[in-house]
């Protein structure tokens, strides 16, 4: 009986400090990063799903603008190839490749919208207007999802680097920092609009 009690006492002595070591909080923060990343992927998927409808609508009005339409289609395809799994969230190169693919798609969509300006009938078409509004809303959602992801990454990275959680991470978990979204090269300069 005494041996059981002393064994229980030893186990409790080692388990009680674990409640304050941050083990559970670090796990919770990492899950927050994964959830925020899933939101980012979902908003990018929404945009990718809208693009074929947008391209088909523009195609009907601007059949001779094949180059721009092909650029949008190719950029969408390259986005599908540049996937980042939750295991790659700490991989700076994978995150940069993903961001470049998304940036290329954004650029192609911008060129498509310039083409649309040349076709007043298309701009007035209700289907196109609906798609354009959905795409604009999706771009806003992407921005919000990126911001939430970056916040979740900040919380997680801070939790594994501050005391006493850093000890828990170093001795038990061995989790790496996650990569936040960064601005694309040249994003610090305002675009020039020429008429």
Rounded CA-CA distance 107/109 in Å is 5
The pLDDT of residue 41: 92
* CA dist list (Å): 8 to 14, 17, 32, 93, 172: 10, 15, 34, 48, 22
Alpha helix (H) ranges present in the chain?
A: 2-15, 23-61, 66-81, 92-117, 120-124, 126-161, 165-168
Is residue 29 within 8 Å of 163, Cβ to Cβ? no
Token readout for 169 is 């991470």
CB half-sphere exposure, 27, CA atoms < 13 A: 8
Note the pTM of the prediction, 2 decimals: 0.69
Digit-coded pLDDT (tens) for 11-57: 766 655 555 678 889 999 999 999 999 999 999 998 888 888 887 87
Rounded CA-CA distance 57/54 in Å is 5
The DSSP-derived string for 157-191 is HHHHHSTTHHHHIIIII-PPPPPPP-PPTTTTSPP
The pLDDT of residue 12: 64
Q: How confident is the model at residue 177 (pLDDT cuts 50, 70, 90)?
A: very high
Rounded CA-CA distance 136/82 in Å is 23
Which residue is associated with the tokens 């594994």? 160
Mean pLDDT over each residue of the chain, to the nearest integer: 82
């Amino acid at each position: 009986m005494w041996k059981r009690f002393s064994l229980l006492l030893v186990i409790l002595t080692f388990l009680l400090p674990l409640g304050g070591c941050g083990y559970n909080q670090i796990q919770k923060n990492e899950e927050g990063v994964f959830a925020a990343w899933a939101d980012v992927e979902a908003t990018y998927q929404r945009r990718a799903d809208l693009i074929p409808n947008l391209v088909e609508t523009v195609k009907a009005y601007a059949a001779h603008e094949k180059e721009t339409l092909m650029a949008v289609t190719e950029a969408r395809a390259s986005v599908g190839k540049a996937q980042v799994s939750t295991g790659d969230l700490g991989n700076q190169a994978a995150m940069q490749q993903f961001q470049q693919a998304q940036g290329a798609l954004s650029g192609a969509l911008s060129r498509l919208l310039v083409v649309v300006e040349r076709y007043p009938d298309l701009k007035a078409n209700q289907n196109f207007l609906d798609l354009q509004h959905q795409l604009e809303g999706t771009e806003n959602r992407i921005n919000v999802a990126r911001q939430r992801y970056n916040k979740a990454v900040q919380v997680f990275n801070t939790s594994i680097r501050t005391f006493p959680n850093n000890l828990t991470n170093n001795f038990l978990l061995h989790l790496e920092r996650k990569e936040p979204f960064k601005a694309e090269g040249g994003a610090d300069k305002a675009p020039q609009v020429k008429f």
